[in-house]
Amino acid sequence: MRTALVTGAARGIGAATVVRLAELGYAVLAVDVAADDPALPYGLGSSAELAAVAARTGAEVFVADVRDPAALAAAVAVAERRWGGLDVAIAAAGVIAGGVPQWEVPLEQEEAVLDVDLRGVLNLARAAIPALLRRPAPRSGRFLAVASAAATRGLPMLAAYCAAKAGVAGFVRALGAELGGTGVTANAVSPGSTDTPILAESARLYGLPGAAEFAGQQPVGRLLEPDEIARVLAFLADPDSGATTGAVVPVDGGLAL
């Protein structure tokens, strides 16, 4: 049985990833802060949502803020004690803020975006990769992160979000090189406009009536579903995906074209 740890697991792409991995037979530790952030003007995933994901999938729950390296180290330790090791770590936690030019964004909002969306990925890598490497050779460990089409597109009034996601893309490229020859790979997916609470908040920041307004900017002509992103993450998590590392895979409905 393969084991996985997923952050941002209460809702959106993180929750869909927990569901998909559980369907494939993984034992999953579903990690989320499960609380709102006073710096951000919208609600984050709740403890009730996290519990619902666990009830649906049989995943174990661990409440942790990805900005806290010690909390993530504790989550990894729980997975190792519970299942004897860790095979997959997926950094899906994310937040968004903006709606005004970068120099007008409240500093605490900018810090939340950078700390969760970028530093949270680095924190998970620091905690999880040693566990992935503790598996005996030949290994098939997988470190995965959720970047965004915003990593390559300059989105006005979302400058910190773009910067964080570009940082995630650069990080997994370097990490893939650092892990060469270990049997552990590092990759990211780069979603387009996906029907999640973050996209709903993006619509609000842009003064749009709803997330559906973003559908027309993608050649597929619709919003993506979180499960569509989760399926690509599940492919990259598979032992048979070992030929792919240091990659940022677009799952964006053609948005980056």
Distance (Å, whole) CA 20 – CA 56: 11
The separation between CA 61 and the C-alpha centre of its own chain, rounded to angstroms, equals 16
Between the CA of residue 117 and those of 26, 93, 136, 243, what are the distances in Å? Answer: 25, 7, 31, 26
Contact 132, 141 (CB under 8 A): yes
Give phi and psi for 32, each to the nearest 5: -160, 155
For 17, the 3-state DSSP assignment is helix
**The one catalytic residue among 26, 42, 161, 206:** 161
42 is catalytic: no
> How is residue 155 written in tokens?
């989105």
Contact 45, 32 (CB under 8 A): yes
Q: How many CB atoms lie within 10 A of CB 84?
A: 11
First vs last Cα of the chain: how many Å apart? Answer: 38
Q: Which amino acids are annotated catalytic?
A: 161
